[in-house]
A and B are shown apart, each in its own frame.
Chain A
Amino acid sequence: MAGKDGYTLDTLALHAGQVPDPQYGARATPIYLSTSFVFKDSDQAAALFNMERAGHVYSRISNPTVSVLEERVAALEGGVGAIATASGQAAMHLAVATLMGAGSHIVASGALYGGSHNLLDYTLRRFGIETTFVPTRDVDAWRAAIRPNTRLLFGETLGNPGLDVLDIPRISALAHEHGLPLLVDSTFTSPYLLKPFEHGADLVFHSATKFLCGHGTAVGGVLVDSGNFDWEASGKFPTLTEPYDGFHGMDFAEESTVAAFLLRARREGLRDFGACMSPMNAFQILQGVETLPLRMARHVENARKLVDFLAAHEAVGSVAYPGLESHPDHALAQKLLPKGCGSVFSFSVKGGRPAGKKFIETLKLFSHLANVGDAKSLVIHPASTTHFRMSDEALLAAGIGAGTIRLSVGLEDADDLIEDLSRGLAAAVKAAA
């Protein structure tokens, strides 16, 4: 269907949320580096503060450049709106802090980005929010972990480090049976590969630092609401269904049937925790989003070539990529991720830590650093970097082998990348000998 609601991702990625600036006709999104916005008169000022009129007041709460990014990502995901945050971590914290307080409980997939794991397992515990981690594929374990005080189910579309595919249709159905929402970290897939709301997820966040920005230039996060979860019917979310003394006694679900969550997150979470996105970063990330469909297509195409090369190489132990038949989630991936399983994956080099170390040191095109989702190819060897204090046994328990290497495949010529990997593997074989 033509028209705004029916535009495809390629078009929305370029246009959603922005029309040429009415004053000068600027086609690119102007960067409104202004902390605050002048009131027309005192009646308008009062009306803005009391949510009787729409507009921007102060850039911690909202900003015109940042709003374009928020609308654009909401459009790409098929949501009702979004909030951009200082980082992916801030987006996740905002989601949790908006939904619950001390005494609450989360059930999360055990296969998570280390930072999310830290937040849940250490930091939020200190604030009285507990998390039970369950094996991503074990629906019974998810079910068994739900308690009366559970308020959220959480997982990543593709979970680190083995790329566990989150069964969003089944886990969201389980969540809904219990009157709970499912929050999904969609960083590794982006809306190009998977739109979690179409499969039943209620809330999505991105580390926009990664594929949305796409060039390794800006840190940011985006939290999107599908508008589909019925907070009132669930009855478990007083932050959304009871008057909030901290903001005009507002009952957010009465105020907005479909955007209660975002209202509270903005009016409380952004206001009080203050982890807002800078307009400068929003601009950088918008630039990235414009080419998201083009880049993601190339990312997965390159990734697939490298996966096939590695899987056939004698110095490689195993490759964890759901696009391969050997992956335990292959069938699920074909259903949820028909366009590809992203471009971040791990494989193991035979010969343990020394081989892994040598492999990385030999690479020329792949940059050795702690990030993913850059236009440039990246690599890391957890056993000698992020996890170097851990014994081999402890590493294995975390699903990481001594020879595990994680790649984030960029946009370079695939043959050049394969040549680089070839050289690295040859050096690794020598080091292990």
Chain B
Amino acid sequence: MELIVRDTKIYAYTGGKTFDPQKPALVFLHGAANDHTVWGLQSRYFANHGYSVLAVDLPGHGRSGGEPLASIGALADWVADLLNAAGVEKAVLAGHSMGSLAALEAAARHPSRIVKIALLGSAVPMAVSDQLLAAAKDKPEKAYRMINQWSNALGLGGNTVPGAWQPGASLALMRRAKPGSLFIDLSNCNDYQTGLEAAAQVQCPALLVIAKRDLMTPPRAAGDLAKALKDVRKAEIDGAGHAMMAEQPDRVLDALRAFLL
């Protein structure tokens, strides 16, 4: 569906169901240079199991208009405006990577609006290597390949989606990103210094979904975050790296179900 958020057209995938503001709302926030389709299977599941789903394309990404927002704080406030535009008072947020930081910060800034947060592939701080940042700035294709390299942990096989060559799909999706957006997104992650303070302010329950073979946001990088959050549980995903929703869609779904249903 299309929403107007701050005078800009925003696209949100609703999981194949008409969005009903009366049902509990679940907002999915994608990571750097991605779009809503990284949540394909999981967002469809929850749309058919009790939630109204908004898997958004963040500003300047996918089908949404506007420019990529330039800080995690800006993304967090944008999420509140998104809820206003959708006519929902409260929502659960599920975020991946950069999207997880936006969810964390939104829960800290807007405690009355956010009822639960699920943070996938998260780390605070989320340091991005200079090498990757430099590539994102000047050689996006090189950066896409570096991310692909570090995000996929499955061997050359073991994919569960019939006929999909997952590394190829991840690469093709990043190539669709608006020029310059990867650099902005990765800088947002790298520059976000107040994550532990935000985590300490979060009142709602939080789930950390940790892919055991994540090289982008390694499992140990979530340790401080886990300590700073008051009401936190962890789910570990076997056989997956940072691109866990694609690599182990069912395991990620089951982790989310245990937290949300």
Give the contacting residue for A5; candidates B62, B149, B158; CB below 8 A. Answer: B149
Are B40's CB and A256's CB within 8 A? yes
Interface residues of B in 220-251 (CB under 8 A from A): 249-250
Task: Please determine whether A81 and B157 come into contact, CB atoms closer than 8 angstroms.
Answer: no
Assess whether B250 is in contact with A17, with CB atoms less than 8 Å apart.
Answer: no
Asked if residues A15 and B145 are in contact (CB atoms below 8 Å), the reply is no
- Name which of A68-76, A123-131, A416-424 contacts chain B: A68-76
Please determine whether B156 and A54 come into contact, CB atoms closer than 8 angstroms.
no
How many A-B residue pairs lie within 8 Å, measured between CB atoms? 142
Contact yes or no, A258 B16, CB < 8 A:
no
Query: Is A364 located at the chain interface by the 8 A CB criterion?
Result: no
Q: B207 to chain A: closest CB distance in Å?
A: 19
Is A53 on the interface with B (CB-CB < 8 A)? Answer: yes
Q: Would you give the shortest CB distance from B233 to chain A, in whole angstroms?
A: 22
Q: Which residues of B are found within 8 Å of A259, using beta-carbon distances?
A: 164, 169
Partner of A17, one of B41, B62, B156, B175: B156
Asked whether A4 lies within 8 Å of B167 as measured between CB atoms, the reply is yes
Q: How far is the CA of A55 from the CA of B253 in the complex (A)?
A: 14
Cβ of A53 and Cβ of B45 under 8 Å apart?
Answer: yes
| B37 close to chain A: CB less than 8 A | yes
Interchain CB contact under 8 A, A4 and B152: yes
A68-B157, A75-B168 given; A249·B163 CB < 8 A? no
Residues of B within 8 A of A83 (CB): 163
Question: Which residues of A have CB within 8 Å of B165?
Answer: 16-17, 70-71, 74-75, 79-82
Q: Whole-angstrom distance between the alpha carbons of A254 and B37 in the complex?
A: 8
A327 within 8 A of B: no
Q: Select one of A53, A62, A255, A258 contacting B163, CB under 8 A.
A: A62
Query: Which of B40, B42, B155 has the most A CB atoms < 10 Å from its CB?
Result: B40
Residues from chain B with Cβ under 8 Å of A78 in the complex: 168
Nearest CB on B from A47, distance (A): 6
Kindly list chain A residues whose C-beta atoms are within 8 Å of the C-beta of B71: none
CB interface residues, A 345-383, toward B, < 8 Å: none
Contact B40 A53 (CB under 8 A): no
Interface-side segment among A91-99, A106-114, A213-221, A224-232: A224-232
Q: Among the interface residues A6, A56, A257, which one has the most CB atoms of the partner chain B within 10 A?
A: A257
Query: Which of B44, B148, B164 has its CB near the most chain A CB atoms (within 10 A)?
Result: B164
Contact B145 A6 (CB under 8 A): yes
- Residues on A with beta carbons closer than 8 Å to the beta carbon of B159: 17, 67, 71
Q: Which of B42, B155, B162 contacts A67 (CB 8 A)?
A: B162
In contact, A54 and B157 (Cβ under 8 angstroms): no
Chain B residues near A61: list those with CB within 8 A. Answer: 162
Query: Is B173 an interface residue, CB under 8 A from the partner?
Result: yes
Output the nearest chain A residue to B160 by Cβ-Cβ distance. A54
Is the beta-carbon distance between B149 and A16 smaller than 8 angstroms?
no
Chain B contacts for A12, CB-based, 8 A = 156
Distance in angstroms from B14 CB to nearest chain A CB is 9
> Count of chain B residues with Cβ under 8 Å from any Cβ of A?
39
With contact pairs A53-B249, A250-B16, A257-B37 given, residues A80 and B158 touching in the complex (Cβ less than 8 Å): no
Beyond A15-B156, A52-B41, A71-B157, is A5–B171 a contact (Cβ under 8 Å)? Answer: yes
Minimum Cβ distance to chain B for residue A285 (Å): 14
- In the docked arrangement, what's the CA distance between A373 and B202, Å? 64
Chain A nearest CB: distance from B62 CB in Å?
7
B-facing residues in A174-214 (Cβ within 8 Å): none
Residue of B nearest to A70 (CB): B163
Q: Which residue of chain B has its CB nearest to the CB of A76?
A: B165
Q: Number of contacting residues on A, CB 8 A?
A: 53
* Cα distance A78–B172 in the bound complex, in angstroms: 10
Say yes or no: B145 contacts A5, CB within 8 Å.
Answer: yes
Q: In this assembly, does A144 line the interface, its C-beta being within 8 Å of a C-beta of chain B? A: no
B113 at the interface (CB under 8 A from A): no
With A5-B148, A6-B145: A16-B156 Cβ-Cβ less than 8 Å: yes
Q: Determine if A1 and B35 form an interchain contact, defined as CB atoms under 8 angstroms apart.
A: no
Whether A18 sits at the interface, judged by CB under 8 Å, is yes
Residues of B within 8 A of A1 (CB): 145, 149
Whole-angstrom distance between the alpha carbons of A83 and B41 in the complex? 20
B42 to chain A, nearest CB (A): 8
Interface positions, chain B 87-146, Cβ under 8 Å from A, are 145
Docked pose: A4 CA to B44 CA in angstroms: 29
B-contact 0/1 string along A227-260, CB 8 Å cutoff: 1101010000000000000001110001111110
Which listed residue, A15, A52, A63, A227, touches B168 by the CB 8 Å rule? A227
Q: Are B162 and A70 in contact (CB under 8 A)?
A: yes
State the CA gap A4–B165 with chains docked (Å): 11
Per the bound structure, the CA–CA distance linking A273 and B93 in Å amounts to: 41
| Contacts of B157-190 to chain A: CB distance below 8 A | 157-165, 167-169, 171-173, 175-176
Q: Mark B1-36, 1 if CB is under 8 A from A, else 0.
A: 000000000000100100000000000000000010
Is A19 located at the chain interface by the 8 A CB criterion? Answer: yes
Contact between chains at B156 and A67 (CB < 8 Å): no
A151 interface residue, CB < 8 Å from B?
no
Q: Are B155 and A19 neighbours in the complex by a CB distance under 8 Å?
A: yes
Contact of A52 with B45 in the complex, beta carbons under 8 Å? yes
B84 at the interface (CB under 8 A from A): no
CA distance A255 to B249 in the complex (A): 15
> A18 to B163, Cβ gap below 8 A?
no
Taking the nearest CB of chain A, how far is it from the CB of B259, in angstroms?
17
The answer, yes or no, to whether A105 is at the interface (CB within 8 Å) is: no
B169 touches A227 (CB 8 A): yes
Nearest 7 pairs of A and B residues by beta carbon: A227-B172, A62-B162, A74-B165, A52-B45, A70-B163, A18-B157, A19-B157
Binding site for A on B (CB under 8 A): 13, 16, 35, 37, 40-42, 44-45, 48, 62-63, 145, 148-149, 152, 154-165, 167-169, 171-173, 175-176, 249-250, 253
| 7 A–B contacts from the bound complex (CB under 8 Å) | A17-B156, A51-B40, A54-B160, A71-B165, A74-B168, A81-B163, A262-B164
- Other CB < 8 Å A-B pairs besides A53-B253, A71-B159, 4 of them? A17-B156, A52-B41, A75-B165, A81-B169
